[in-house]
Chains A and B, each alone.
Chain A
Amino acid sequence: GAVVSQHPSWVICKSGTSVKIECRSLDFQATTMFWYRQFPKQSLMLMATSNEGSKATYEQGVEKDKFLINHASLTLSTLTVTSAHPEDSSFYICSARSETSGTTDTQYFGPGTRLTVL
């Protein structure tokens, strides 16, 4: 149980284009989803916390107009990187908090999306 999928696994795009990444909880309902970014050899950096049906809460330094988050249902959250630039190239990982598992507040991670902006 507690499987999180992410699509696409990797994407290459031209500078200036927008990229949408989907995060789905497959076998549980996730009222809260998290979006992280990880640069090579660095730790996870929380970008935003997404609650179903409400606006996402962004961490300091993360541009909410550039990284659009939509948590439309209890099983789906999307991250859209608008007008992507090479410095946005990174590993984007979503996680979903399962409140029905035996472990309170465990976050289960999607497999990640590797974004390369040319």
Chain B
Amino acid sequence: GQNIDQPTEMTATEGAIVQINCTYQTSGFNGLFWYQQHAGEAPTFLSYNVLDGLEEKGRFSSFLSRSKGYSYLLLKELQMKDSASYLCAALDSNYQLIWGAGTKLIIKP
């Protein structure tokens, strides 16, 4: 079966760094997405990885290892507004997105 695993909840301190991990098992693979979703709002696109390695975009970076079925989202210089759920989603061979349940990130002052 197809499956995405990510932690349910994480807590971090303002100004610190946090890494949110995601492992996936899909029928075929065409890329890995990270989305941010604030409470009561729709998800917003953060990153897309299809090749192994690290993609850096400002304070956010995303890493992919296809051989390990593993990705992480790295958030630096955390701000209070980063408190949100972070959704990992893998694109399978049919180009359907398989969604993780999301990781709720709580930022403390």
Q: How far is the CA of A43 from the CA of B101 in the complex (A)?
A: 5
Please classify the interface of chain B as helix (H, G, I), strand (E, B), loop, or mixed, using the class held by over half of its residues.
loop
> Are A43 and B87 neighbours in the complex by a CB distance under 8 Å?
yes
> Are A109 and B43 neighbours in the complex by a CB distance under 8 Å?
yes
Name the one of A43, A111, A112 contacting B102, with C-beta atoms under 8 angstroms: A43
A-B contacts, CB under 8 A, total: 45
Residue tally, chain B, CB below 8 Å to A? 21
Residue tally, chain A, CB below 8 Å to B? 20
Q: How far is the CA of A106 from the CA of B47 in the complex (A)?
A: 9
Give the interface centre of B31, B33, B43, B48 by most chain A CB atoms within 10 Å: B43
> Are B44 and A109 neighbours in the complex by a CB distance under 8 Å?
yes
Residues of chain B at the chain A interface (Cβ within 8 Å)? 30-31, 33, 35, 40-45, 48, 50, 87, 91, 95-97, 99-102
16 other A-B residue contacts (CB within 8 Å) besides A104-B30, A112-B42: A6-B42, A42-B101, A43-B87, A43-B100, A43-B101, A93-B42, A93-B43, A104-B31, A104-B48, A105-B91, A105-B95, A106-B33, A106-B45, A107-B97, A109-B42, A114-B40
- Could you give 25 example pairs across A and B, Cβ below 8 Å? A34-B97, A42-B101, A43-B87, A43-B100, A44-B99, A46-B97, A49-B96, A93-B42, A93-B43, A103-B48, A104-B30, A104-B31, A104-B48, A104-B50, A105-B91, A105-B95, A106-B48, A107-B97, A109-B35, A109-B43, A109-B44, A110-B42, A111-B41, A112-B42, A114-B40
